[in-house]
Amino acid sequence: MLDAHPELSIPPETHFLPALISLYDGGREPNTDELVEAVETHPGWRDFGMDENELRIAFAARAGLGPAGDPAGAIRAFFAGYASGHGKDRWGDKTPVYIESIDQIGAALGDQARFIHLIRDGRDVAVSRGARAVKRGREATPARDEAETWKRRILGAREEAHEVDHYIELRYEDLIADSEAVLRKVCDFIDLEFDPAMLAYHEHASERLSELSDLPGKGGKVRPGSERIAAHALTSEPPRADRVERWRTELTPEAIADYEEIAGDLLAELGYPLAAQGSS
């Protein structure tokens, strides 16, 4: 949705920011080779549509985007290079694992950084992750373990958010129910004028997803780009209300009880009804 805005570009998941920032530990200034290597350590770096020479050109611009010894210049150089390739001036990132690096990234980018934490009902997260595991030939993780992971990540993000100036939490379910209202709130938060094109994101999603390449994995296994694109198929559709509260029919009563025993307090705090309170 954000990427559909005519001024804002969001690349596929990057994953390399913590490694790139760490190159500046102690105030040192890494060379271009080191910066390029930090990007290329992510197996999916070719998703960005930039070859190694283009990465070098992008990082060469870092001197004008921040002082020496400051990772902000390198970060901005990469993303500005990517956004420019798509005819846009502003950029963002949507790498879920950065929930564990909020303070590090915030320290690097300073006051300009805006963190948007989109939270989904953990029981529906368990349904989604379980279906993915079964599809890949693995057993679904027990509900109690899923609950512990979901709760730990949210509380961990909140703890890290104490170190940054701009952080908000939004609910996935609210985005589905009233996309425009939530997107307007996001636009206010990031100082960007709302554009109706954001609501028509699905009309161009397949074009954007075509960037996803084959992803090398462990043991020489490769996840084909076509499989990765298929996993994001729902982005080519408008928001679907049937993706909300799937847990009511797709989790067993025992799994629901186990989940709520571990994470019921946080679910309730976030406004999610509990089956344990007779809401089902």
Q: Are the beta carbons of 144 and 259 closer than 8 angstroms? A: yes
Q: Does one domain contain both 64 and 188?
A: no
Helix axis angle for 102-109 and 71-85, nearest 10°, is 90
Q: How far apart are CA 65 and CA 120, in angstroms?
A: 36
Domain CATH code at residue 239: 3.40.50.300
Residue by residue, pLDDT tens for the chain (280 residues) are 999 999 999 999 999 999 999 999 988 899 999 999 999 998 889 899 999 999 999 998 887 777 777 899 999 999 999 999 999 999 999 999 999 999 999 999 999 999 999 999 999 999 999 988 887 788 889 999 999 999 999 999 999 999 999 999 999 999 999 999 999 999 999 999 999 999 999 998 888 888 888 888 777 788 888 888 888 888 889 999 999 999 999 999 999 999 999 999 999 999 999 997 764 4
Q: How far apart are CA 240 and CA 176, in angstroms?
A: 7
Q: Does one domain contain both 135 and 252?
A: yes
- The whole-number pLDDT of residue 80 equals 93
Q: How far apart are CA 62 and CA 31, in angstroms?
A: 11
Q: Does one domain contain both 124 and 260?
A: yes
Of 44, 77, 103, the residue that ends a domain is 103
- The whole-number pLDDT of residue 278 equals 64
Taking the CA atoms of the chain, what radius of gyration do you get in angstroms? 20
The residue segments making up the domain with residue 169 are 114-272
Q: Are the beta carbons of 111 and 165 closer than 8 angstroms? A: yes
Query: Is residue 108 a part of any domain in this protein?
Result: no
Q: Does one domain contain both 248 and 131?
A: yes
Of 55, 70, 103, the residue that ends a domain is 103
Q: Does one domain contain both 125 and 252?
A: yes
Q: Are the beta carbons of 45 and 122 closer than 8 angstroms? A: no
- The whole-number pLDDT of residue 214 equals 84
Q: Are the beta carbons of 21 and 71 closer than 8 angstroms? A: yes
Q: Does one domain contain both 133 and 267?
A: yes
As for how many domains the chain has, the answer is: 2
- The whole-number pLDDT of residue 219 equals 74
Instruction: Enter the pTM of the model.
Output: 0.90
Q: Does one domain contain both 28 and 139?
A: no
Cα of first residue to Cα of last residue in the chain, in angstroms, is 32
Q: How far apart are CA 35 and CA 59, in angstroms?
A: 7
